[in-house]
Structure 1
Amino acid sequence: MARQGRSTDWGFPRWRGYGSAREAAAVRLCDRAGCNEPGNCPAPKSPNSPDRWYFCEKHAAEYNAGWNYFEGLDKEEAEQREQAERQTSSGYGAASWQAWAGPGDGSRSRDELRALEALGLDPDAEFDAIRKAWRTRAKEVHPDVRPGDEAAAAEFQKLQLAYEVLRAAQERREWKG
């Protein structure tokens, strides 16, 4: 009897790509009647129940639109559950300062946002735009240009502080990145 062919799966490392097995992959379908999309989104069947429906993205959004996760709980229990859920997901917010995301999407601190507001810029402004806005506004209210004007001096100090905050944040990002 002739041999079918040589196996390319000799051991470790595997010589063929991962996921290139010949068996059919099991796909769970959406639990919504009549839907043939993959059901990748779990949704609770009832409050405080470990049982889950598995919907496609469209039907999960429809199902969750009117869902109240704190229904049936008194105020203290609802606060405890909310606090527990915030603790489990707090790592995502804590990682944003490490510049895993770009500007304008939660990666700037409150101080940076206040500084951008003082300069009259959007939260997703690039550092070149920050420097340009600082220079133009600082030239208008500089104490050498307006001697004796207390309001202009206070505005200049505010602009200087805003620029220092943003420059230090930019240097941190460049140092880490």
Structure 2
Amino acid sequence: MPKATRSNDWGFPRWRGYSASREATNVRICDRHGCDEPGNCPAPKAPNSPDRWHFCQKHAAEYNSKWDYFEGLDKAEKAARAKAERQESEGYAEASHYGWTGSGDGSRSADEMRALELLELEADADFAAIKKAYRVKAKLVHPDVKPGDDEAAQEFQKLQVAYDVLRVAEERREWKG
């Protein structure tokens, strides 16, 4: 009588490797005429249609570059849908500068850049330089130094707001990093 062998496919974790199956796998070829690459990027044949083309990555990118998401809509509805989509994605565009590396490489927001400009500093200034520049400028226009001078008081308030913007950004970077 032959000895019974145990399968490696029982229980958890799976004891057999995931790529160790012996049966042939079906590979769908790109639907673009003349392309022999695997078509693993589905793309809709028409808006709101369940039918899909299956392209390779190169042809999927080409197909999507020409895709009109608002085809068939009248002009007013097209503008309204485009505006709604822009509003939904504004948060991503606005926050995109937070995800990059250190200062001076596009990581500062427009508010931070205006604050640095007010303090007459370069875009890659570190926080010690920011603090020093703020103190020097604030001493010149502080209300205790120039009492009753409305222009100096406004300039002091601008400096304070600029420093606060930069301080909060620096704290956020320290917390994040």
Q: Specify the TM-score bucket, using the shorter chain as the normaliser.
A: 0.5 to 0.7
Change (3 A) 1:27 1:2: same
Check conservation: 1:142, 1:153, Cα contact below 8 A: no
User: Structure 2 length normalisation: TM-score?
Assistant: 0.60
CA shift digits 1:84-120 (9 cap, x unpaired): 7679x76x949x69x7x4459x998xxx531233214
SS of structure 2 residue aligned to 1:60: helix
Relative to structure 1, the CA distance from residue 136 to residue 175 in structure 2 (aligned partners, 3 Å threshold; closer, same or farther) is closer
Tell me the matched-pair count: 164
Name the structure 1 match of 2:116: 119
Q: Distance in 2 between matches of 1:152 and 1:4?
A: 93
Q: Quick one: which of 123, 134, 138 aligns to 2:134?
A: 138
Aligned residue number for residue 60 of structure 2: 60
**What percent of counterpart residues are identical?**
58
Match of 1:33 in 2: 33
The one-letter code sitting in structure 2 at the alignment partner of 1:53 is: W
Q: Give matches, 1:7-26, under 5 Å.
A: 7-26=7-26
Structure with higher RCO (Cα < 8 A, 6+ apart): 1
- After TM superposition, the runs of 4+ consecutive aligned structure 1 residues lying more than 6 A away are 149-153
Gaps of 5+ in 1: none
Do the aligned partners of 1:138 and 1:156 also contact (CA within 8 Å) in 2? no
RMSD (Å), alpha carbons: 4.4
Structure with greater Cα Rg: 2
Aligned counterparts of 2:68 and 2:163: Cα–Cα separation in 1: 44
Aligned to 2:73: 73
Residue 142 of structure 1 aligns to a residue whose secondary structure is: helix
State the Cα distance separating 1:152 from its structure 2 match: 7.3
Unaligned runs of 5+ in 2: none
The alignment's TM-score, normalised by the length of structure 1, stands at 0.60
